[in-house]
Structure 1
Amino acid sequence: MTGVGELLALVSLLLFSANALLIGPAVRRLPQDLGFLLGLTSNVVVAALLVLGQYALGGPGSPPEWDAIALFALGGLLTSYLGRWFWTKSIATIGPTRASAIQVSNPFFAAVAGWFLLDDRLPLVAVVYGLAVFVGLNLASRRRSGDPGEPGSGSVSLKHLGIGLLGALAYGLGNVARGAGVRDWEAPIVGSLIGAAVGLLVYGLVNTDLRKLPSAVRGADPVGRRMWLLSGVLTIGAQTCQIAATQYIPVAIAVVISVSVPVIVLPVSVIFLRREAIGVPTAAGVLLILGGVIGLVVS
């Protein structure tokens, strides 16, 4: 059944890539803080509708497992809240390019945690292909010389490096927690709902002035609102497919495939959207990612 897991991971990659292409225009129309909250709300609503539909058709097929529910909640806290918070913070302090480069360590943390906690032992060929994706992601995330300056364009302090690594660590551990949960209880859609609800609850309580929220939403750009809500649909779909993939393949392989967003986003941006030019390192990185993902799928 590994083919099913790899197919689900590929669908997750396509959905994450579509979201990456959407976020840039969405941020220009609506501030990230409010948009992020709308996206999380959309996560919960869409996941709830999917769960209702699933139960109308007979449910997940097995009774709830409380250990799995706790793991899904922990995964949501780590990914939907802590991972995104540290990720956003690192973008603000060191810029999106360097933050993206640090974020590629997410599969490494997932692989190590999966090995220790889930006994996910990767064959040597999978490690080689995974390393190719890892190197490719790092190359694709580098800022080209001559590009406009960005925050943190000088040397990166250990503090700011630590913030980015904490984000990658939170994502990696969160993915492992969700993978462990879906192996205890094969209910990836319910797991996505639990994780999204936890992320929304914590973010709403910690980062949002609930008294000003209704007026802020009403006064927001309507197109921006719709774009962020669509972003929520795309991300919950991607997360659900990623969680479901871990039922069939090791967590690290599912994560490596689903986070290989540059292999989709960069060609689309260059060829169809005309948004950016790419240099030799970026092109080499995309080819490495593509080769690594193909190798993981067919091996």
Structure 2
Amino acid sequence: MIGEALAVGSLLLFSANVLLVGAATRRVPQDVGFLLALTSNVGFAGLIVLGQYTVGGQSLSPEWDAVGLFALGGLLTSYLGRWFFFRSVTTIGPTRASALQITNPVFAALAAWVLLDESLPPVAVLSGVLVLAGLYLTSRRAGGAAAERAAGRRRSLPFPEIGLALLGAAAYGLGNVARGAGVRDWAAPVVGSLVGAAAGLLLYTLVSTDLRKLRTVVAGADPVGRRLWLLSGVLTISAQTCLIAASLFIPVAVAVVISAALPIVVLPVSVLFLRRAETVGVATGIGALLVLAGVAGLVLS
């Protein structure tokens, strides 16, 4: 049950980050916050690795093939996956983009089957389908179906942009498989998270950031917002480390499905503690129950 416990830990950490990012985005824009979170990813993982191999006395014997896979996984998830997703949100809207994004575990399962020779038992497949169906229902806004039909009458579906959203989901899925393959060559999940985050930060800085304006923008940002985004980086790198470590014990696709089941944590917290019930309807409740049933099946199977 070690792998399942690590995947559930990843789920809890990712869920905490979702709840945090809403407050952080209201104070600091997402583009600046994303860079702060990536920087925090690298800094926190670097501290853990430093403690592991200096204070902890472990010997550092890198497997360079694994390092390359960790870097590839970081580029696919931290940069390409997010870029494609944000691009699709602005063109086809958050509802469709989120609905397509939940195909990430499908791509992970297919890639793991082809590249890692991982096959899933029927119970795991059925449980994964339940999670995907539940995620689809919980990602839809109230009245979303009618709005989608009305939009469909006004214009045809933007198939190129839908393709971009699917590319984002595929990038996430392939990135998780690359990191899962890397950790099996070198069982160093924290190093894997550090290498992946550093690769994503480097590419993001080179491609998406004006370094001349960066210091001014960050210095002028809301201090509380900056701290929230830095905390978001700590949560996400911890969640990624748990997900990578889980791949040592269970199939990558199972770990990805469990870690993606955010509604079973986010919805109850939002309704019971944050009083955000405006988007929770019958379909959302059914979806959350399907996600819960699917995750329980994956954990217990």
What TM-score bracket applies, with the shorter chain setting the length? over 0.9
- Verify the 8 A CA contact 2:264 2:291 in the aligned structure 1: yes
Instruction: Give per-residue Cα distances to partners, 1:125-177, cap 9 Å, x unaligned.
Output: 10011110011111111121179989x95553101211110110000000000
In structure 2, the residue corresponding to 1:220 is in which secondary structure? coil
- Taking the TM superposition and a 5 Å limit, the aligned residue runs for 1:149-228 are 154=152, 156-228=157-229
Equivalent-residue separation in structure 1 for 2:259 and 2:15 (angstroms): 9
In structure 2, the residue corresponding to 1:276 is in which secondary structure? coil
Instruction: Give per-residue Cα distances to partners, 1:205-233, cap 9 Å, x unaligned.
Output: 10000001011111001111011101000
Equivalent-residue separation in structure 1 for 2:127 and 2:212 (angstroms): 50
- Taking the TM superposition and a 5 Å limit, the aligned residue runs for 1:57-96 are 57-59=56-58, 63-96=61-94
Size of the aligned set, in residue pairs, is: 295
Structure 2: any 5+ residue segments left out of the alignment? none
What is the CA distance between 1:87 and its match in structure 2?
A: 1.3
The amino acid across from 2:236 in the alignment is T
Runs of 4+ in 1 over 6 A off after TM superposition: 146-150
Instruction: Give per-residue Cα distances to partners, 1:190-218, cap 9 Å, x unaligned.
Output: 00000000000000010000001011111
In structure 2, the residue corresponding to 1:14 is in which secondary structure? helix
Equivalent-residue separation in structure 2 for 1:192 and 1:228 (angstroms): 18
Corresponding residue of 1:98? 96
- Verify the 8 A CA contact 2:6 2:245 in the aligned structure 1: yes
Equivalent-residue separation in structure 1 for 2:41 and 2:147 (angstroms): 34
What is the CA distance between 1:62 and its match in structure 2?
A: 6.6
- Verify the 8 A CA contact 1:136 1:287 in the aligned structure 2: yes
Equivalent-residue separation in structure 1 for 2:182 and 2:286 (angstroms): 37
- Verify the 8 A CA contact 2:69 2:181 in the aligned structure 1: yes
- Verify the 8 A CA contact 1:68 1:185 in the aligned structure 2: yes
- Could you say if the C-alpha distance between residues 149 and 268 of structure 1 is closer, same or farther in structure 2, counting changes exceeding 3 Å? farther
What is the CA distance between 1:97 and its match in structure 2?
A: 2.2
- Verify the 8 A CA contact 1:40 1:200 in the aligned structure 2: yes
Corresponding residue of 1:128? 126
- Could you say if the C-alpha distance between residues 248 and 208 of structure 1 is closer, same or farther in structure 2, counting changes exceeding 3 Å? same
- Verify the 8 A CA contact 1:94 1:153 in the aligned structure 2: no
Corresponding residue of 1:258? 259
What is the CA distance between 1:96 and its match in structure 2?
A: 2.1
Pairing partner for 1:6 from 4, 16, 28 = 4
What is the CA distance between 1:63 and its match in structure 2?
A: 1.9
Equivalent-residue separation in structure 2 for 1:94 and 1:178 (angstroms): 30
The amino acid across from 2:11 in the alignment is L
Q: What TM-score results when the alignment is normalised by the length of structure 1? A: 0.95
Equivalent-residue separation in structure 2 for 1:36 and 1:81 (angstroms): 10
Equivalent-residue separation in structure 2 for 1:116 and 1:290 (angstroms): 28
Corresponding residue of 2:283? 281
Q: What TM-score results when the alignment is normalised by the length of structure 2? A: 0.95
- Verify the 8 A CA contact 1:62 1:185 in the aligned structure 2: no
Q: Name the Cα RMSD after superposition.
A: 1.7
Instruction: Give per-residue Cα distances to partners, 1:227-247, cap 9 Å, x unaligned.
Output: 110100000000000000000
In structure 1, the residue corresponding to 2:23 is in which secondary structure? helix
